[in-house]
Amino acid sequence: MSKIGVIGIDYQIDFMPNPGSALPVPGANADAERFADFVTRFKDRIQSVYLTQDSHHVLDIAHPTWWKKADGTNVDPFTVITTADLAAGTYYPAIRPRVSREYVQALETQGEYIHMVWPEHCIVGTTGHTFHPAIQRMIADFERSAFRWVNIITKGSNPNTEHYGAFRANIEQMDDPSTQLSQVLLASLNELDQLFLAGEAQSHCVANSLKQLMDNAPNLIGKMVILEDTMSPVPGLPADFYVGVQAIYDRAKQMGAKFAKTSDFVTI
């Protein structure tokens, strides 16, 4: 029998378009419900379930408190900070100036997403950090029925780097293995015959997870099915950003990934 796995990225309350959510992604509630239904329908066939959980401190390099404008006030959420901005004095780090500047430079040098400051989100211990209720129910049902544990992968707790992707932080930290490429997770996925990818946001954490797989485990891409109706993008960013996001998915398709909707499957 084929070994089938599913990986769901960051189906957390703070990404849901609900009152009080820190970083709502339109469509995310329905995405989470479709993913949970998919796993529950096929729990007898699914060997492994992996769920990532964005997990941040309030004081984080991607949160406003870390950065100041030239006038000394905190930067606003959704501010993009580049090395040119830092050189011009438009923005500056409130703490760890050398580390912060080197981080922004490394993002640009290594071809990662340009540094974005987000609203404080997915703070460990808050309601926003928890999974969507449909995901919580799916976890309980899977573990009770399948007698296998759901694998929860926390990411983002190192405040010196963003951690979009499931497999490593945007910039690995030499003194923190949790930010480095997870060989254990990759080895686990390599045992599968088919891998379904889902999550939020399509434009950020899912796209980066996919890119990390293409760069570090290209053999997995041919086993992958990307569930298009389980993910939605962060809206309102410049058009050229979305062109870059689409290029990631286009590359995956060229490498053999399949694209489908949960409704396409009667059996798996």
Query: What is the C-alpha to C-alpha distance for residues 123 and 174, in angstroms, rounded to an integer?
Result: 24
For the stretch 165-194, pLDDT in tens is 999 999 999 999 999 999 999 999 999 999
At 268, the pLDDT band (50, 70, 90 cuts) reads confident
At 266, the pLDDT band (50, 70, 90 cuts) reads confident
Q: What average pLDDT is seen over the chain? A: 97
For the stretch 190-224, pLDDT in tens is 999 999 999 999 999 999 999 999 999 999 999 99
Query: What is the C-alpha to C-alpha distance for residues 266 and 268, in angstroms, rounded to an integer?
Result: 7
Is there a contact between 181 and 79 (Cβ–Cβ < 8 Å)?
no
Is there a contact between 67 and 42 (Cβ–Cβ < 8 Å)?
no
Query: What structural domains does the chain harbor?
Result: 4-57+120-264 (3.40.50.850), 64-117 (no CATH)
- DSSP per-residue letters across 41-75: HTTTTEEEEEEEEE-B-SS-TTSGGGEEETTSSBP
Query: What is the C-alpha to C-alpha distance for residues 192 and 121, in angstroms, rounded to an integer?
Result: 32
Q: What is the mean pLDDT of residues 77-105?
A: 98
For the stretch 93-143, pLDDT in tens is 999 999 999 999 999 999 999 999 999 999 999 999 999 999 999 999 999
Q: Which residues pair with 64 in a beta bridge?
A: none
